[in-house]
């Protein structure tokens, strides 16, 4: 791929003309919407379908999305840097231009930047062999922030190096079999071993003194955070980093465990290759050679005979970040919130991550603004959110959720997240299970951007051999505080499974225009799916939640767990509570059908619908545990928080996953007791959800036997 470090360059005239050709239709459609309706008709209130109105505003929208993305990516805009202010001002101006009421909220978290870094290769006698670059080949002009790992501590090392492949547990075990120790050495890894912070933590646990993580052969070097233990400002765990807030000291245990204990840094593939090619020691496994293009290399994994001289100096500082909101107040239920969010801060230019999503959010705002001016208003309040400092660990969204936790837990209907809206072909989606059917229904209404005559649903199903919806147990985007901490139903949407230029200087408008989405039709599809989801959740008389799907998904999880634990009796007991949840879902479904038939203006019906909707939105909160997970109290969701072990095979029931993986010095009896406690907590949470759906107090008097049998 050609070098693409100048996204401010204008797109080719013919391509831009092709995009802008339909752009003039926007004004025409807007005029038709505003002035072409019959007198007295209020869209969304007197027969006009809000979804049809929203989709009628699609012609030419891909051109306006492209124009927004071009402006958003005209320069780098990492949170807390001067470039961030310009992007914030642009987003705020576009939301106001849409006619929406806007709000901002500032926080002052601890952010982390690169102050200095150096790297050299030395002979065994410590004489200089070569200075090694710490820059990114894809950014020769140094226009963007130089590669670094946020929150990596300052440090220096002159030590032998060891190549650890991807830095996974299985790779470290392979080194053990070769008789190679990491103690006192620099670990050199190839990106791809899961969360980069986990790679560093595993190496530190084996005694490494520093970690270098190689970029790709295309010249990109992936920046990113290595903060441990969850999202949010590390000095204010559980409360907002507002002015005047209490902040923990760096010597506090809750703070210390958030930071890696050794320095680390991303480096180019060429730099890493130069180090690995100098190593001796046991022969390099054949399957490890491809990551650095070492297929013909006959060297070893190390250690020695060369030394690596590495220094890194971190610049930690309190920085001001700004979240931006646009609020459309609901007509009948203004105290119920449907929340859409995207972060706007980027490690580099951010054409994919995250401003493809920002441009989509601005188009959702544009359409909703036109609909408001036409007379439509939603039943429930819609909040559009532009988060700051996501790249440092979902800080903007986490601080806002922590500050407004009470309101959100009692009033939020759902959170709909779009981060990297477009990074390739094909829809990928994650959600909490009660939103699956809604998501599937909406994709049937949206034209596929790549296949003529097909809907997104058609190609989504074909691509995966059936609809595949991920469960959101990861912590890599802004849904994390909403789901894992607050228990709010969530959706996460994106096009394209992965992006090779992730967090590199290659994430530019030029890449998007040439490769990612030349006609911006995938952006258009994401915008339509996002907006239609919001309209259904904001307008449906009865919330479109399906807890049958939730019960079915929990049953699948339990079946997997039973295989892992030799079909223990305790897992069978959980099945009984899942059956109860399924029965409650059936009762709710029947009640919802009855309520939909009542006169929309009937007072008693309004109250009954309100009560049912409250039970539907609060059922997800039942999966929270007030004390949180053992040793990780910020994470409170017992079904879908991330497990402690970054390489865990279980992406559900995190407390159980943690208890299984924490071997340490525990006896079998102690481990079984820990697992038994976590099984009990999961079972009780499922029972709570069933009770909430029914609107009843718990009445389960049957004795429960949690005997545990685990595989060795």
* Residues carrying an active site annotation: 390
User: What stretch of H or E contains 525?
Assistant: helix 521-539
* CB atoms inside a 10 Å sphere around CB 584: 24
Rounded-to-5 percentages of helix, strand, coil across the chain: 40, 15, 40
How far apart (Å, rounded) are the C-alpha atoms in residues 150 and 580?
Answer: 46
* Coil vs helix vs strand at 112: strand
How far apart (Å, rounded) are the C-alpha atoms in residues 198 and 264?
Answer: 12
Nearest to 172 by CA among 195, 188, 148: 188
Contact 78, 84 (CB under 8 A): yes
How far apart (Å, rounded) are the C-alpha atoms in residues 138 and 502?
Answer: 12
On the question of a cis peptide bond just before residue 303, with omega within 30 degrees of 0, the verdict is yes
Residue environment code for 245-258, b if the CB has 16+ CB neighbours within 10 A, otherwise e: bebbeeeeeebeeb
Contact 332, 379 (CB under 8 A): yes
Give the residue ranges of DSSP H helices in 128-178.
169-178
DSSP string, 341-376: EEE---SS--TTTTHHHHHHHHHHHHHHHHHHHTT-
How far apart (Å, rounded) are the C-alpha atoms in residues 587 and 491?
Answer: 25
Residue environment code for 167-178, b if the CB has 16+ CB neighbours within 10 A, otherwise e: bbeebbebbeee
Using CA atoms, how far residue 445 sits from 55, 60, 365, 424, 430, in Å, is 9, 18, 20, 21, 19
**Ramachandran quadrant class, 73 (left: phi over 0; alpha: psi -120 to 50; beta: rest):** alpha
Query: What is the DSSP-derived secondary structure letter of residue 385?
Result: E
Cα-Cα-Cα-Cα torsion 420, 424, 426, 428, nearest 10 degrees, comes to -30
């Amino acid at each position: 791929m050609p070098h693409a470090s100048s996204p401010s360059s204008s797109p080719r005239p013919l391509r831009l003309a092709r995009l802008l050709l339909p752009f003039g239709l926007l004004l025409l459609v807007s005029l038709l919407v505003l002035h072409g309706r019959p007198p007295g008709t209020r869209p969304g209130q007197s027969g006009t379908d809000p979804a049809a109105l929203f989709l009628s505003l699609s012609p030419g929208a891909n051109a306006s999305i492209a124009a927004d993305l071009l402006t958003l990516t005209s320069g780098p805009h990492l949170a807390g840097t001067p470039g961030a202010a310009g992007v914030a001002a642009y987003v705020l101006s576009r939301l106001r231009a849409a006619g929406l009421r806007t709000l901002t909220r500032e926080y002052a978290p601890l952010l982390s930047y690169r102050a200095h870094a150096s790297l050299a290769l030395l002979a065994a006698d410590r004489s200089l062999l070569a200075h090694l670059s710490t820059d990114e080949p894809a950014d020769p002009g140094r226009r963007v922030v130089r590669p670094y790992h946020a929150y990596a501590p300052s440090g220096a090392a002159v030590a032998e190096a060891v190549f650890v492949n991807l830095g996974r547990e299985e790779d470290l075990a392979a080194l053990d079999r070769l008789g190679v120790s990491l103690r006192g050495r620099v670990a050199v890894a190839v990106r791809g071993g899961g969360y980069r912070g986990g790679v560093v933590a595993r190496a530190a646990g084996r005694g490494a003194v520093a970690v270098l993580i190689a970029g790709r052969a295309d010249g990109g070097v992936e920046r990113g955070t290595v903060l441990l233990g969850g999202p949010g400002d590390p000095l204010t765990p559980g409360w907002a980093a507002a002015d005047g807030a209490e902040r923990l000291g760096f010597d506090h245990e809750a703070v210390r465990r958030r930071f890696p204990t050794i320095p680390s840094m991303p480096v180019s593939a060429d730099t890493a290759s130069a180090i690995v090619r100098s190593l001796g020691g046991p022969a390099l496994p054949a399957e490890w050679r491809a990551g650095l293009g070492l297929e013909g290399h006959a060297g070893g994994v190390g250690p020695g005979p060369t030394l690596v001289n590495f220094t890194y100096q971190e610049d930690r500082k309190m920085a001001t970040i700004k979240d931006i909101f646009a609020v459309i107040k609901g007509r009948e239920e203004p105290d119920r919130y449907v929340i859409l969010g995207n972060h706007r801060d980027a490690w580099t230019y951010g054409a994919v991550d995250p401003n493809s999503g920002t441009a989509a959010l601005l188009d959702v705002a544009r359409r909703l603004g036109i609909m408001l001016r036409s007379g439509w208003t939603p039943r429930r309040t819609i909040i559009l959110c532009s988060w700051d400092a996501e790249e440092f660990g979902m800080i903007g969204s986490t601080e806002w959720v922590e500050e407004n936790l009470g309101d959100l837990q009692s009033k939020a209907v759902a959170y709909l997240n779009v981060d990297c809206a477009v990074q390739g072909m094909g829809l990928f989606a994650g959600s909490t299970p009660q939103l699956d059917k809604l998501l599937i229904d909406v994709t049937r209404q949206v034209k596929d951007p790549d296949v003529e005559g097909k809907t997104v649903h058609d190609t989504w199903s074909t691509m995966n051999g059936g609809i595949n919806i991920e469960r959101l147990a990861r912590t890599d985007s802004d849904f994390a505080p909403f789901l894992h901490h607050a228990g709010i139903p969530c959706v996460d949407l994106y096009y394209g499974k992965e992006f090779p230029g992730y967090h590199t200087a290659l994430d530019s408008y030029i890449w998007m225009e040439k490769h990612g989405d030349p006609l911006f039709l995938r952006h258009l599809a994401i915008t339509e799916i996002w907006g239609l989801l919001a309209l259904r959740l904001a307008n449906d008389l009865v919330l479109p939640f399906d807890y049958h799907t939730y019960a079915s998904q929990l049953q699948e999880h339990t079946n997997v767990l039973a295989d892992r634990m030799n079909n223990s009796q305790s897992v069978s007991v959980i099945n009984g509570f899942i059956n109860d949840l399924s029965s409650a879902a059936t009762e709710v479904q029947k009640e919802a059908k009855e309520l939909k038939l009542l006169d929309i203006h009937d007072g008693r019906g309004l109250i009954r619908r309100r009560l049912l909707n409250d039970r539907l939105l609060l059922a997800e909160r039942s999966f929270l545990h007030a004390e949180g997970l053992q040793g990780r109290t910020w994470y409170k969701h017992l079904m879908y928080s991330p497990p402690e072990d970054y390489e865990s095979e279980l992406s559900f029931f995190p407390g159980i996953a943690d208890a299984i993986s924490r071997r340490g010095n525990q006896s079998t009896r102690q481990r079984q007791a820990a697992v038994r406690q976590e099984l009990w907590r999961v079972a009780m949470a499922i029972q709570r959800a069933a009770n909430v759906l029914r609107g009843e107090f718990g009445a389960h008097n049957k004795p429960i036997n949690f005997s545990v049998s685990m595989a060795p």
